[in-house]
Amino acid sequence: MPTGLASSAARFQRRAQEVRRRPVRLLAYAAAALVVLGLLVWLVAFSPVLAVRTVEVVGVPRSEVAPIRALARVPIGQPLARVDSALVAARVAERATVADVSIERSWPGTLVIHASPRVPFLVVKNPQGQLKVVDAEGVAYAQVSAAPKGIPMVNAASEAALSHDALAAAVSVVRVLPDPMQHRVANVTVSSANLVTLKLGRTTVVWGGVSQPERKLAIMTALLKSSPKLIDVSAPDTPVTR
């Protein structure tokens, strides 16, 4: 039978061996982890296993899919993780008909382009008679041969009236008018960002710019009761009628 002293010495020896082996095991574990990490990095960022195989475009009419895909210029075969999504989004945003764009990686090999089309809010006729579609942000993004059904028409008095600020002023007028009043509008003309006029029946209304649209509407509605030939609410603090 071993003595208690011999048994304690054996335990101490085993513990000492364990202490000496621990750094070796830790180094082995660390090396194995680095190998696994390196394999994962290679698999995701460099191997063809998770490369782009298809580019999907969603959220827009079918006619927009091919132009957007061509504009995105996503190289097939590039590792999906290394695709510069910000650059792709910036390229797609150059298309005038696109209002918003975002990029999604769909593993293992699909890049999805989510694009939102601009929605027509009004149509502007320029001095040459051409029709330009404008969205609710005042962006002219397309030229058409005929105004889409149900979209208000605005006349641009000059090329300067086609600036973004001028179109935004026209949008502000159309946006604030209630439906019953919109049906009474015979003509809306934008001359500049600070001069929009409209015709309500026999009354010409000088609206002005984009400021205080709700107040202008309230004053105009009250003054229309007397059926004047002209109402000027461009300066709503001092409206004019005659």
The 10s digit of each residue's pLDDT in 144-202 is: 999 888 888 999 999 889 999 999 999 999 999 998 888 888 889 999 999 999 999 89
Of the chain, the percentage scoring pLDDT greater than 90 comes to 71
Over residues 18-47, mean pLDDT: 70
Same domain, 38 and 66: no
Same domain, 126 and 237: yes
Q: Are strands 203-208 and 230-232 parallel, antiparallel or unpaired?
A: parallel
Domain that holds residue 173: 122-241
Same domain, 130 and 227: yes
Rounded Cα gap, residues 191 and 158, in angstroms: 6
Check which CATH number belongs to the domain holding 74 and give it.
3.10.20
CB 233 within 8 A of CB 222: no
Same domain, 141 and 79: no
Q: What is this structure's pTM?
A: 0.74
At 40 the three-state DSSP class reads helix
Domain count, the chain: 3
Same domain, 145 and 60: no
Q: 97: pLDDT confidence band, cut at 50, 70 and 90?
A: very high
Rounded Cα gap, residues 71 and 185, in angstroms: 40
